[in-house]
Each structure stands twice: as C-alpha cells, then as structure tokens.
Amino acid sequence: MFCLLYPVLMTRRRWIADSWDEATASLTGEQASHLIRVLRAQPGMEFDIVAGDRVWHAVIAGISGDSVRFNLLAEEKADPALPVTLLLSVFRFERMEWAIEKATELGVERVLPVIARRSEKHLAQSAKTRAERWRRIAREAAKQSRRSDVPVIDDPLPLKTALQQEKQGARLLLAEQERSTTLRHALTEALAASGDQMPLISMAVGPEGGWTAEEEALFDAEGWKPVSLGPRILRAETAAMTAMAVTAALLE
Ligand code: SAM
C-alpha cells in the first residue's frame, strides 16, 4: 500500500569522468573495471556522471576493454563546494585520511597538507608520496557523498611557505588555547563582512602535538585569527571535521 502512495526517489549511482566533452564522457581504470566486472554494466544503463564541476544524467553508449563510454543526456543541479581551504597539518596518516574523507563529505573545496614543526619526521618525509592516495580518498568520498566536484588536494608544503601563499579571505587558526573567539563567531563576522557573497575561508588544523609558540607567532604575523572549537582538546582529525561541520551549518 505504502509504495503505491509515495513513489520511490531513485538516486542514480554517481561516477567521476576521466575524460569528457560536450556530449560524451568516459571512465577508465578502477571505476571502469568496477562498473564492468562488479556491476556487470551494459549499454543502456543510466548513471550520473560528474564532468568537471557539472553533473549529468547519462547513459552507457559503449564498453570496450577497460573503458566505458557515456552519452550525456541532461544536466543535473550541481551543489557547489564550500569556499573553504583546509590547511591540514601532517599527522598519523590513517587519522589524516579519515579527516580528508570527512572534510570532503562536508564540502571542503581544497585541502593543503602542511608540514608543521611537530609533524613527525618520517611522516613529513613520506607525505609527498602519500598525496596520490589522499586524492583517491577524496574522489571516493566525493562520489559517495554525491558531490558535483572533487576537492583539490595539494602537494604538502612547509607551513611557512603555505602561509606566504595563502593570503585570501578570512584566515582562521584553530587554536585549542583560544578562549575569546569561537569559530562560529568568526564565521558570522566573515559572512557579515562579505555581504551577499560567500566569504572565502581558510582554516588551519595543528598536528597532534599542537602548534609551537613560534608557529602561532607566524600565523599572527600573517594575519590569521585564532579561533576556538570549545573548551575540550579535540584530536586533530576531530577538530578538522568539527570545523567543517560548523562551517557547513552556517554557510549552507
Ligand atoms: N597540543 C595540544 C595538546 O596536546 O594539548 C593538542 C593539539 S590538538 C590534538 C591538534 C589540533 O586540533 C590543534 O593544534 C588545533 O588546531 C585543533 N584543536 C583541538 N582542540 C581544539 C579546540 N578546542 N579549539 C580549537 N582548535 C582545536
């Protein structure tokens, strides 16, 4: 009886195109082999395809070898990412990767991994080779959360270099000792200051050992504002996810 009254909203599975033009798109590699071997894809099957930052209702037009070709039928509504750049200190990789997955689900536009003074040496040294894996994690999380784009994951940079290049918008330093300004307060201020435009926001999360006093002075000299996520000391990955959730709640 229930199914007669309320039509079931079918959400088509979403894929991220490896190449596309105005009328067609193609998948190769892992995505294509999953479609062909696991989902037994056939010409005529319909899916959603993310091509750049646009989303299309698409139909499989052909399968050859390890490549699946789609015809793009109609453009779907795309939900843009939040204008947020997350400076994520390098810390234990499995926790950092959890933070990248959660930040992607919550709409981050870009993640810039930074090597902080208290980032463990061996992690700092292997961070660059790990970046491809972080991009794969962001891509999978973008698909799973039905985003219409994939966040940019930059190559890791030393903190000082990152601060010299990140000069735009509201720059917020997540600082566990901060007691007067909360993230929510700073975001509300940034929103008011940007009128009806979405404010550009950068947020920096420290490593497990936290920022050094020298780094906090560097942030201050570069115009970053310390903000609090509350009285409790959060793990770095929890702080990253919480900051994104507070931002999404305020901006969406
Ligand atoms: N050094 C700290 C300690 O052990 O006392 C902990 C650092 S915390 C595990 C890692 C990072 O998460 C911090 O550098 C900060 O960026 C962020 N963070 C954690 N709790 C926070 C809070 N309550 N407010 C703002 N940022 C916080």
Q: How far is CA 213 from CA 117, 139, 141, in A?
A: 10, 35, 35
Contact between residue 16 and residue 147 where contact means Cβ atoms under 8 Å apart: no
Mutation to probe ligand 1, out of 96, 117, 174, 205 (largest number of atoms < 8 A from CB): 174
Those residues whose C-beta lies under 8 Å from the C-beta of residue 51, and which sit 6 or more positions away, are 17, 20, 25, 72
Pocket of ligand 1 contains residue 205 by CB under 6 Å: yes
Contact between residue 83 and residue 200 where contact means Cβ atoms under 8 Å apart: yes
**183-224 pLDDT, tens digit each:** 999 999 999 998 877 899 999 999 999 999 999 999 999 999
**131-162 pLDDT, tens digit each:** 999 999 999 999 899 898 999 999 999 999 99
Mutation to probe ligand 1, out of 89, 118, 233 (largest number of atoms < 8 A from CB): 233
Distance from residue 234's CA to the centre of ligand 1 (Å): 5
Pocket of ligand 1 contains residue 233 by CB under 6 Å: yes
Cα-Cα-Cα-Cα torsion 17, 20, 26, 30, nearest 10 degrees, comes to -30
Looking at ligand 1, which residue's alpha carbon is closest to its atom 19? 234
Contact between residue 154 and residue 136 where contact means Cβ atoms under 8 Å apart: no
Amino acid 78: pLDDT: 81
Amino acid 11: pLDDT: 77
With cut-offs at 50, 70 and 90, classify the pLDDT of residue 9. low
Distance from residue 236's CA to the centre of ligand 1 (Å): 6
> pTM value?
0.87
Average pLDDT, the chain: 93
Pocket of ligand 1 contains residue 228 by CB under 6 Å: yes
